[in-house]
Structure formats: C-alpha cells, structure tokens
Amino acid sequence: MNFDKVLDRIGGFGRFQKTLYVWICLPQIFLAFHMLVSVFTGAVPPHLCRSAWPTGNSGGPGLGLNFSIAPGESCTSFQDGLLSQLNHSPPITEHPSTSNSCAGGWEFSKEVFLSTIVTEWDLVCENATLNNIGSSIYMFGLLVGAVLFGALADKYGRRIIILTGLAVQAIFGVGVAFAPNFYIYVLLRFVVGMTVSAVIMNAFVLGTEWTGPKERMLAGVITDYFFGFGYILLAGVAYLIRDWRKLQLAISAPGFLFLFYIWVLPKSARWLMANKKHEEALDLIRKAALINGKPLVDSDIELCQSPKNSEKLQDLRKYTVIDLVRTPRMRKQSLILFYLWFVNVLVYYGLSLNISDFGMNIYLTQMIFGLVEMPARTITLFTLNRSRRISQLAFLAVGGLACLLTIFIPDDLSIVRTVLAMVGKFGITASLSIVYIYSAEVFPTVIRQNGIGMGSMCARAGGVIAPIIYLMRNINHHAPMVVFGLCPLIGAALTMFLPETAHNPLPDTIEDVESTSFRTTAEKSQHALYEECPKQNPDIIL
C-alpha cells in the first residue's frame, strides 16, 4: 500500500512523530545562531586611526578620546569614516579615490563590543570589503552543502547525514572560535555553512516523510518556530557575551550534546521502502505504531515486492535534474519555483544581515526582527489551506511593496521606514515558509528530491549575493532596497503561472504534470494512488 496509507493506520502525527519533531526542532535553534551570528561577530564599532589622535592623548582613548567626534582623517575624510555605525554588520564603507590607509593602526570603541572580527583583524576602510566577502563565502558553503548532502542523503539515508552534519558543525563551529586569522576563520565558517544545509534540509525531509498528509503543513511551521526562537534568543546571548570568540564558542559547544541523537533519531521508513529495505522499514513501522498506541499485525501492511514494482523502484532512480526542464510545463514550473527560492532567500537575508538600517540598538533590532518571524509563520497556517498560489503571490507582493516604499520615505521619518522594513520582513518570512511546502507539492514524486535540491541551490545563490547587494550603496543609497523591492514583485507575477495544489493529490510522474486532465481528475485518481505500492519520498520539503 502507499506509505501515506500506512501513516493513516499507525497515526500521522502521534506520539512517535511528536517525539521525532522534538529531536528535529532542537537543532533549529543552533542553526539560527550560526546563520545570524555574523550580525554581532562582524559588527563594526566606532573607530579611529591612532595616528590621528590629538596631542595629549598618546596614552590611548581611555584618556579622553571621543569616538563619536574623532578629529583627523580616516576612511572617508576621517571625519565621516570614524563615525561608522555600531550596528553596521557587515560594514559598507565608501572609499575615496585617494589612499586611506592608517599607518598608526586602528583603535575601536569598546562601549558595545569588547571585540569582533573587525576589531581583531582591522576589517575597515580598504579591508572592509573582506567582511562582505566572508559572509558571502559562508552562504556559498550552504549552497555546496545543499548539493553535496542532498545527494548523499538520497544514497545513504537522512539519519546518517543529520548525525554527521551535527558532529561536523560542532567541531568546526568551535574551531571558528580559535581561528588564528581571517582566512582560516572564513574557511571554517564555510564548512559550518555546509553542515547547516545538511541538517536543516534532511531534518525537514525526515520529519515530513514520517508525518501524515493532513498534519504535514502544521509540522513544518512548528519547525520554523524554533528557528525563529533561535533568532530571538541570539539577541540575548550576544547581549550577554560581547567578545566574538566567546560568543562563537557559546553557540557551537552545545552542539556536542546532540551526540545522544545516535540512540534516539530514527531512520526514514519511507526511504528504506524506496530502497527495498522492506524488513527494516517494517520493523520501524511496527515500532511507530506501538508508540502511537496503534499496534499492527503483519496483515495490516502490504509491502509490494513483485518484479513489476521492483522495476518501478529502479526506474525512479533513473531521473535526473535534466528532467526538471525536459518537458514544457515541467520546465516552466521548475524555473519559476527556482526563481522564487532565489528571491525569498535573497531578500530574507538581505534584510536580516543589515539590521543597522533600523538606526536602533543592534540587540533590540535583532529581537524585533525575530519577533516578526512568529506571526509571519503563524498566518500561513490560515492562508495555505485556502490557496497555496494566492498565499505565495500575496506575501511576495507585500514584502516587495514594503521594501520598495522605503525609498520614498525621507530620512527624517525613520519610524515610518522602520515600520515598512518590518512589514517587508513579515511578508518575505511568510513567503519563504510557503515556498517550502508549495515546491514539494508542485514537483512530481519521481524528481521531487531533485527539484527541492535545485531549489535549495538557487536559494543559497540568493544568500551568497545578499551581502554583496549592499555594496550597491556606493552607486546609490537606495539601490539595495530597490532590488529587494522589485525582485519579489516579479516573483509575485510569475506565481500566477503555477498550478494550485491545495486539496489536490500530488503528481507522481512528469506525465502527471504535463497532462491537462490530471488536476481535473484529481479526486477520482486519489483512491487509485493509495492502492499503489510505496513511492520514493512522496512529500518532501527542505
């Protein structure tokens, strides 16, 4: 029988699945830490060149130097450059055409940060761009991890990749705290980025493959809540720990506690069935049924092992990413979804990593941005059941319009600009939650993992570009927000060309996608789909 039918028998979201989601959700807090910690570790305190100290202050800034009104010269005429905002993370410094080096070295204010990577390695002025590049390289690690660990998970299973990712993340995360120079720091962060993709991608997949269709959406949003909680919690941790190395250690060392997952994290029975490990899958299903209070006998589960079905399972493994664009309708839907992944992550991290634009305390701003995540993810629970397509379109439009409107607000109306930025963050966060679910329902079963993997790659490409977008402020102060406004609006328009998937059975083959009659006969074919043998990963979200 179909695995979703098995879940109906044993309970689609019983005690077994709830316990599983506890194990899946806990790492999400630390994933949020690693994703956003550069807001604090890469912050740029007010600074001045020691050679510019006024007479009588040779002993250092403790003898009365005013970091907010520093005399002399710095990056941009030293009168403006030394007033760099505390909240710039990473900094965007306009470089003059003339030399801006500081022969005497830099002195940084310690009023807010005891140390950051900027203060330790003097990433200001001519070296300021290194901070942006470092953030982009970290995001590139997420892209590489999505490709590498997505393929490995299909071959070796979700559980082993999650365990490996958590272990490597803890080891290299702690290693970052002891990096001897900026280049080793970037390399170690790159590896951490790879493991973030490994964990977040396969944790979602594992949870979804064990969850019944009716509870799948709610379970996915619950996981998002824990990421949002990590978003908020990071503000408090960073407020208490002002030294970047100690902060990095604090968010990484607890990762070793996940060692006990070796004994509690189950494999995916759906993956085992798709890979013809039927006996092991049956044992797991019996265990889940027993924990859920719905014990089964052998006759309750039919694991099809006929030559015809074995041949079908082998055929499933022949599909590649090329099949995503081989046929007209599949190509159109794939390209649109890839763009939606790209633009959601581009704007999400473009706003999240530049919280200094609020002009408020960096810790308070971080907490506000985290709080916005909660209602944004909650509202999708009420809109998705009505329409996936309209929900995706509406939230993209809200996020894009809000970002675009900020460029028309005068600088002296900072409160209005702050509200609009928060509305933009709200819309993009909700849209990002939806694209996970929507993509899993649009891609057919035979290439769903490939589609999600490619979507994740496009998303990570958006993450790589996001820190670089702010360099456009050298051209025009409003250029980044124009990009963050127009791109979602284009995505909203493209969403109209995607099919509606709410309350419809999922397509299993590319022929289902290309068939004009598939959606109109969905209800009639749903019963037939349940009578088929297990298929590989019918529902997967990243």
Residue for token pair 């809000």 = 402
Q: Is 243 helix (H, G, I), strand (E, B) or coil?
A: strand
All structural domains of the chain with their residue ranges: 1-50+104-305, 319-513
User: Which pLDDT belongs to residue 359?
Assistant: 61
pLDDT digits (tens, 9 = 90+) for 389-424: 999 999 999 999 999 998 888 877 777 877 888 899
DSSP annotation of 82 reads G
Q: pLDDT tens, 422-446?
A: 899 999 999 998 887 888 888 887 7
The residues facing 107 across adjacent strands are: 48
When pLDDT is averaged across residues 325-350 and rounded to a whole number, the result is: 91
pLDDT, one tens digit per residue, over 348-374 is 988 887 776 666 778 888 888 888 888
Question: How sure is the predictor about 202, in pLDDT bands with cuts at 50, 70 and 90?
Answer: confident
**Cα distance between residue 72 and residue 256, in whole Å:** 49
CA atoms within 13 A on the CB side of 509: 10
Q: Which residues pair with 243 in a beta bridge?
A: 115
Find the farthest-apart pair of alpha carbons in the chain and give their distance in angstroms, rounded.
Answer: 90
CB 269 within 8 A of CB 260: no
The region of weakest confidence among 92-106, 239-253, 449-463 is 92-106
Same fold, 1-50+104-305 and 319-513: yes
Angstrom distance (rounded) from CA 182 to CA 175: 13
pLDDT of residue 311: 44
Predicted confidence (pLDDT) per residue in 180-201, tens digit: 999 999 999 999 999 998 998 8
Q: What is the 3-state secondary structure (H, E, C) of 470-514?
A: HHHHHCCCCHHHHHHHHHHHHHHHHHCCCCCCCCCCCCCCHHHHH
Indicate the pLDDT class of residue 92, thresholds 50, 70 and 90. Answer: very low
Per-residue pLDDT at 238 = 93
User: Could you please report the per-residue DSSP string of 153-202?
Assistant: HHHH-HHHHHHHHHHHHHHHHHHHHT-SSHHHHHHHHHHHHHHHHHHHHH
* Alpha carbons 193 and 35: distance in angstroms, whole number: 8
| CATH class of the region 319-513 | mainly alpha
Residue 128 near residue 471, CB atoms below 8 Å = no
**Is 112 or 239 the better-scoring residue by pLDDT?**
239
Q: Please, what is the average pLDDT of the chain?
A: 79
Does residue 522 surpass a pLDDT of 60?
no
Q: What is the pLDDT of residue 520?
A: 54
Please report the pLDDT score of residue 288 as a whole number.
87
List alpha helices for 253-361, DSSP H.
Answer: 261-264, 269-274, 278-291, 307-316, 328-352
Mean per-residue pLDDT, 91-110: 57
CATH number for the segment(s) 1-50+104-305: 1.20.1250.20
- What's residue 75's pLDDT? 59
| Percentage, residues of the chain above pLDDT 70 | 80
- CA torsion 449-454-457-459 (nearest 10°) is -90
Q: What is the pLDDT of residues 49-82, one digit of tens each?
A: 776 655 555 444 444 555 554 433 445 444 344 4
Average pLDDT over residues 122-144: 86
pLDDT, tens digit, for every residue of 254-263?
A: 999 999 999 9
Q: 209-218 pLDDT, tens per residue?
A: 888 877 777 7
Average pLDDT of the residues in 117-130 = 84
| 498: nearest Cα among 284, 337, 270, 309 | 337
For the chain, first and last CA: distance in Å?
A: 25
User: Between 479-495 and 328-352, two packed helices, what is the crossing angle to 10 degrees?
Assistant: 150
Q: Which residue has the higher pLDDT, 525 or 101?
A: 101
pLDDT digits (tens, 9 = 90+) for 152-175: 887 888 899 999 999 999 999 999
Residue 250: the pLDDT is 95
